[in-house]
Chains A and B, each alone.
Chain A
């Protein structure tokens, strides 16, 4: 959105040390960590009517095994962080939409009570999360009736409003939300006929395939897609077809499914309109900001974490990453992040590794330990996750299976990097056994 600012009066502007865009799991963990790192002046801006983000509609369990060593539902997991934020007296605004962030970190936001207002931040943490890819983005041909939902929209209707989007369901895409919704729709009395996945492997977690499809006898058809949508007013059916290695439908493999609902779980896209607007450099692979070891973008003092940075599989990793972003933002505000005496090391993803977060490490700014997260581009069995320090293989970890649906990581220590004074590039790759 463009706002015509006639004259900016510095005196009306509120000032905060750290402004956090988004009060979901990433924003909350970042806020808690920044506060614990000694920053008092923190503001979370949340567009929804409550804190917790998308976790509020994830009423299934399985959250928090890493962080809390127990299985929580989404709202319970969120509540642990909301409680901490409240105990720490962290300021937040609900129902507040951030309209624009300037390169100089002036945040323009809007809500019903305060109207349009501006905040000058010393540091900004981007934690806006992601959105779902739509039918339109897939360019599926056919009619455009009611009854086609992204899995997350259906999840909101069912779990938060108690409304059934339909009775007979086909799901396209085996992302985690789609798998979770296959089970949820079954619980609520719908018939889930099939889950079709374009790729020869699922995009979701293995445990979700077992617990959400296999346990309920819902078939998963790999290498299949929707090639036609029928019904002018309400959805009446879809046609599935098998696809070849290039993802093109194979003529003659079409199968008709009558259904009144098609749920799409075909990918998540980090929501970076604000980041782009302020000039943050973006990665073409993750659709999220390019960040260094501090999770800082190309704009000094602007940090990113959670699904806006890259799409995660487990919220525990979001919390961990966001805590690091909060801590680093606090250090930035206190002027304690010096790159002096440090060296820049590049991270290079090759051979099956699609990207790394971060993309560079400054040895002076890095913590004692650093987690490098990445995803692979295909399923690899009996392989090694390897890291080469220039030409020397330093990490070589055996893995039975790695898959695109699950996030991978390697851990680096400062001591380890300092042993290689000439190190320029760390190459991360998958090596077949």
Chain B
């Protein structure tokens, strides 16, 4: 019996695992997918919000502002890309000024630092590609952007290094209360734990409702996005929001930490918890709405589009804490925006709850830092030459568009919780994430995966499960 089982290794589960790994406890993470960061955490706006959106006094408001403050140090400790670029909420006409001012007031109440209402003229000076119709904007210098994949992967890797166990392709099917804890039946056998952390994203209501009479309900709220080529990456230099509506923060336009431009999301409530398909209407809406605040968007430069599902709970609030009628079952549910921003604080809160309940003691040998995959672009020419001399694989470019070497891909596969699929390599290294969208590098990355994992090419998948990339050999059915 484990001390703690965490269901799900998106950012909430990974942050909770990492924070728990500071203490003397046996912790196991169960994940239904083949890798870290396969659900909501991989398909979102990648924004570190300042914290003016959430209702003052709410858990969302508190954890957002705290998570934002923690992110910078965490990015240094765990070596993932984070940039504090600031954000602007665009107000297009005088009639909407009260709403903008309310947002400002809310931000001040939430403890967001440096908020400022700036005039249309000032906005145009800051961002020349903002629409000429801009009347004013709320400027939040503390907002930032992050690589959501590497944030999530870094947290999980660090937890793993500190002794947390991870079981992938392990889908929890049922949970029953047993003496002194819970028994979880999964696609890979039974697991028992004294405590359970429910960080299952859009599925968190399903698990909560297995153990509690006080039901919760999560709606997958789909958001479609378009990602633009790096040539469009400096179209704006801050995150550009519209005034929020009841469905969320609206369609934003933002640079990404890797220099692309991201536009989206829509907000469509759906039933299917796996419904990550984009739709024509959704993509058209993204394009139309993004153009309301930002002019001359080069939509011909779109290199891919995707959809993510926000885990929207009916109460529009994070649900974090021990379930009232299920002792030892800790919810981490309803984690929609600003969940990514809040995740460092969410992890701390979940670990704090368990520390108190379990009287956990700190480990002496906790490893607080983690080194990411070496990016040779950050080296001087001499350092790079030295590296290639030592490791010739760093001289072999596999992904042309993003200049990713065989050395980086091997590192992504061999490190703790390493990549097992094409998408796993992509999220860790960016190989295949560039403008040709893996047209050139996918067969080569497949070869490296097959060699490193000791399997055949036809065993390599795009993203685990049934997503095999090749189905056989030539003429094998003739």
Give me the interface of A with B, judged by CB distance under 8 Å. 1-6, 47, 95, 97, 99, 110-116, 131-132, 134-137, 139, 141-147, 149-150, 152-153, 156-158, 161-167, 187-189, 227-230, 232-234, 249, 260, 271, 273
Sample (10) of A-B pairs whose CB atoms are under 8 Å apart: A5-B381, A47-B397, A47-B400, A113-B392, A132-B439, A146-B461, A161-B443, A161-B457, A189-B475, A233-B467
Residues of A within 8 Å of B415, CB to CB, are none
Whole-angstrom distance between the Cβ of B57 and the nearest chain A Cβ: 39
1/0 contact string of B434-478 vs chain A (CB within 8 Å): 011101101100000000000001100111111111111111111
Q: A164 to chain B: which residues have CB within 8 Å?
A: 470-474, 476
Most B CB atoms within 10 A — which of A95, A110, A149?
Answer: A110
Q: Known: A1-B377, A110-B388, A142-B278. Is A136-B443 also a contact (CB below 8 A)?
A: no
Residue with the highest number of chain A CB atoms closer than 10 Å, among B227, B282, B303: B303
- In the assembled complex, the CB of A76 is this many whole angstroms from the nearest CB of chain B, namely 20
Distance of A260 Cα from B440 Cα, bound (Å): 21
Given contacts A134-B439, A152-B439, contact A112 B392 (CB under 8 A): yes
Interface size class of B (residues with CB under 8 A): 35 or more
Interface pair B439/A4, CB less than 8 Å apart:
no
CA distance A164 to B472 in the complex (A): 5
A134 to B437, CA, bound (A): 6
In the complex with contacts A6-B381, A141-B277, A152-B439, A163-B283 CB distance below 8 A: no
* Known contacts A6-B382, A134-B436, A146-B462; A166 and B443 CB within 8 A of each other: no
CA distance A367 to B226 in the complex (A): 48
A99 touches B277 (CB 8 A): no
Residues of chain B contacted by A166 (CB below 8 angstroms): 470-471
Besides A110-B397, A163-B474, A234-B467, 16 new A-B residue pairs in contact (Cβ under 8 A), listed by A number: A3-B381, A4-B379, A116-B381, A134-B436, A134-B437, A136-B227, A136-B305, A137-B437, A152-B439, A164-B470, A165-B469, A166-B470, A167-B477, A232-B276, A233-B466, A260-B471
Pair B458/A163 contact, Cβ less than 8 Å: yes
- Distance in angstroms between the alpha carbons of A299 and B151 in the assembled complex: 43
Q: How far is the CB of A111 from chain B (nearest CB, A)?
A: 5
Rounded to whole Å, the gap between the CB of A281 and the closest CB of chain B is 15
Interface contact B437-A165, CB-CB below 8 Å:
no
Cβ of B464: which chain A residues have Cβ within 8 Å of it?
Answer: 233
Residues of B within 8 A of A189 (CB): 474-478
- A4 contacts which of B227, B381, B401 (Cβ < 8 Å)? B381
Q: Are B437 and A136 in contact (CB under 8 A)?
A: yes
Contacts known (A134-B304, A142-B278, A163-B458); A116 close to B470, Cβ less than 8 A? no
A143 lies within 8 A of B277 (CB): yes
Asked if B396 contacts A111 (CB within 8 A), the reply is yes
Q: Which of B395, B437, B478 contacts A111 (CB 8 A)?
A: B395
- Distance from A247 Cβ to chain B, minimum over Cβ atoms (Å): 13
Residues of A contacting B461 with CB < 8 Å?
146
Q: Is the CB of B303 within 8 A of A136?
A: yes
